[in-house]
Chains A and B, each alone.
Chain A
Amino acid sequence: MKYTGIVFLLLSLLLCGNSMAQSSGKRTNLYRNMLEDGNIKKTYWQAQNNQNELQTAFSGLFLFYKTFFSSQDLTVCTFTPSCSEYGILAIKSHGMIKGGLMTMDRLTRCNGLSPQNYEFDKKLMLLKDDPTREPLVPVVASYK
């Protein structure tokens, strides 16, 4: 008799739980699919608009790295653009030799020990280091 009461109580609680879950279904739907399921296809503009075979080859290497290696890791680079993006941009804008040297140098600078040397991107919370842009001081004010 005692066990029958306990089973009855548990079943009642289960039914109550189910009905409550159904009534709050709208709210739970709001929080579904909040996390990425891993099937989001990313596009990299850095690998587009290749001008020659060399750029195409390096863009292929870049995409291979981004797809199979970088995607398995968190954002660990201290810079924006990241080291791999810097590499492909440097090669595209400065050629293979200078771009390659710039990339090797960047890899050694990617240590986060000298943040005072770079501008800070407040949105991404990363240090700015773009191989295609040299910071210039504006001559004329943009407010007067």
Chain B
Amino acid sequence: MKKGLLIFLGILSLSLKVIAQENLYNETNTRKFGEYLLESGQYNFAVKEFERLNFLNPSDSNAKLNLMKSYRLSGNWEDGIRRSNEIFEDLNLIPRPHSIEYSKLLLTGRDWPRAQHYWETNKTLPSPDKALLNTTAEIFNSDFQKALEYVSLVNDSTNYLAEGYRSIIDRGLNGKRKSPFLAGFMSTAIPGLGKAYTGNWKDGLVSLIFTGGMAFQAYRKFNQFGANNYRPWIYTAIGTGFYLGNIYGSVKSAKVKNRKRINILQHEASDLFNAYY
């Protein structure tokens, strides 16, 4: 009798132990672990956890938001856009934080027409948000005129993002530009002069030495061997290559100078955007 009781108690205690064991993969633990992974910068693993959470509870709106964020931060924004289209019935009706996150995915992919179409059709984003997102897209598309049109739709003078964008757009529209045509023309006249005009006078000097040196050598060889010899033509061909390359390089140098000026403004815009959203 005693023996039977002991066996019964033993089995009972074992069963209780098994029942009391925690399931590590339940919804609560998955959420906790996913949030930990997201906070600790392990975005690829966070994607898997939030995918599991979305599978366990498809109505969990916060899990979907974190899933989109994990996709974006892990660098897989294309997958993030694809999955967003799959997990939401209608992207135009998703809550504002989700719309902002989806917009961030579209902005990361620099798909401006798609992003702007989304903001046009979205029904949950307030108008100032739509205007600011459109302004952001136009600034990064280097179209400051259109960006000005969009930012003028925001009338709130306390909105620091709109105010910051106005300053950036003003500098983008009125800043000094280098003319690629003028740089090319100057280098056509005197090799290297176009590069000097764009501020790269050292490269310009090297262009002048290369082109001038080849021209001088070609001239010498023509005088020495005449036009029926191959030697002067070799120098002429190389010199012509350097000359044409110098014109191309001057045009490119002016364009790069302009791009860098705009890139500085875009960096500033990126800082403001990421502080605001």
Contacts and interface: CB of A to CB of B under 8 A. Distances in A.
B248 A109 contact: no
Contacts of A137: 140, 263, 266-267, 270
Interface string A53-66: 00000000000000
Interface string A110-144: 01011001000000000000000001111111111
B110 A136 contact: yes
Interface residues of B, number: 31
A107 B245 contact: yes
A105 interface: yes
Contact of A100 (B203, B241, B249): B241
Contact of B274 (A105, A114, A141): A141
Q: Size class of A's contact patch? A: 20 to 34
A71 to B, nearest CB: 23
Nearest to A102: B248
Given A101-B245, A101-B248, A142 B206 contact: no
Given A113-B202, A114-B200, A143-B73, A108 B274 contact: no
B111 to A, nearest CB: 11
Contacts of B108: 138-140
B136 A101 contact: no
Contacts of B241: 100, 104
A84 interface: no
A99 to B, nearest CB: 11
B158 to A, nearest CB: 23
B99 interface: no
B265 to A, nearest CB: 9
Contacts of A113: 202-203, 206
B107 A139 contact: yes
B249 to A, nearest CB: 3
17 contacts: A104-B241, A104-B244, A104-B245, A104-B246, A105-B248, A105-B249, A105-B252, A106-B245, A108-B242, A108-B246, A109-B249, A139-B107, A139-B110, A140-B108, A140-B270, A140-B273, A140-B274
